[in-house]
Amino acid sequence: MTVVVVVLVTTLITAIGIFAVRNVSQIDMAVGFSRQSGQTLALAELGTTAALTQIGSDSANYASKMSGPEQCLSNGPYATDRNITTCHKLNRAELEAGTAIFSGETLLEPTAAGETGSFGPLANTTGLIEVEMTDRHGTGEIIAGSKDTAVDITLTTTATVSPIVAAGTDPCDGVASMSVKKVTRAHMLVTSDAGNQ
């Protein structure tokens, strides 16, 4: 009877220990995914802010670029059928080129020896940003300090934070990996007159 009780107690304690270790690992994973989600939202907001700054500095040029043949996802799945061409895409390279003019900085900093990058010292992740300018239409309102009417432009920023994968390797490599995508949207009032931005 004593042996049976000892075996039962030992088995019960082992099961509790295994459950506790598994629970802690699941909590760590959830915290990591939550952190990655927060980083992605911050990256989307950064992309929107950079686009607002860049477009605001040269609104006439960017408003004219929206008449090109580009198709944007935010115009919807039937954009081609409806001949919607009021679209222009700004990728990370274009945003960083504009940011460098104002601040001399890039949007994201890589992790370097002794320094923490944009995603933290232990992060093996990278970020992608794309901003789509769509839905250009006049508002009929005069912009303050100008004689021109305002043009409303919708900015849709898509940010993705995902693990860095070396070419030719398994993206998971035996460990679950996750990419997080966040989309933000903003409206911007600009003028299409180059002389009165």
pLDDT (tens digit per residue) in 78-99:
555 555 567 888 888 778 776 6
Assigned domain for 76 exists: yes
Counting the structural domains of the chain, the total is: 1
Query: Measured between alpha carbons, how far is 89 from 66 in angstroms, rounded to an integer?
Result: 9
Assigned domain for 15 exists: yes
Order across the sheet with 149-163: list the strands. Answer: 87-91, 125-142, 149-163, 180-190
Mean pLDDT comparison of 22-36, 89-103, 166-180, highest-scoring range: 22-36
- Judged against a pLDDT cut of 70, whether residue 174 lies above it is answered with no
pLDDT of residue 195: 41
More confident residue, 183 or 195: 183
- The angle, 0 to 180 degrees and rounded to 10, between the axes of the packed helices 2-57 and 92-103 is 70
Residue 115: beta bridge partners? 112
Assigned domain for 142 exists: yes
**Exposure letters 2-38 (e unless 16+ CB within 10 A, then b):** eeeeeeeeeeeeeeeeeeeeeeeeeeeeeeeeeebee
More confident residue, 24 or 192: 24
Tell me the pLDDT of the chain averaged across its residues: 76
- Judged against a pLDDT cut of 80, whether residue 176 lies above it is answered with no
pLDDT of residue 89: 84
Confidence class of residue 194 from pLDDT cuts 50, 70 and 90?
very low
Give the pair of three-digit tokens for residue 171: 């993206």
- Judged against a pLDDT cut of 50, whether residue 197 lies above it is answered with no
Assigned domain for 154 exists: yes
Assigned domain for 195 exists: no
Q: What percent of the chain has pLDDT over 90?
A: 2
pLDDT of residue 121: 66
**Main-chain dihedrals φ then ψ at residue 73, nearest 5 degrees:** -65, -35
Confidence class of residue 114 from pLDDT cuts 50, 70 and 90?
low
Contact indicator for 182, 41 with CB cutoff of 8 Å: yes
More confident residue, 165 or 56: 56
Assigned domain for 196 exists: no
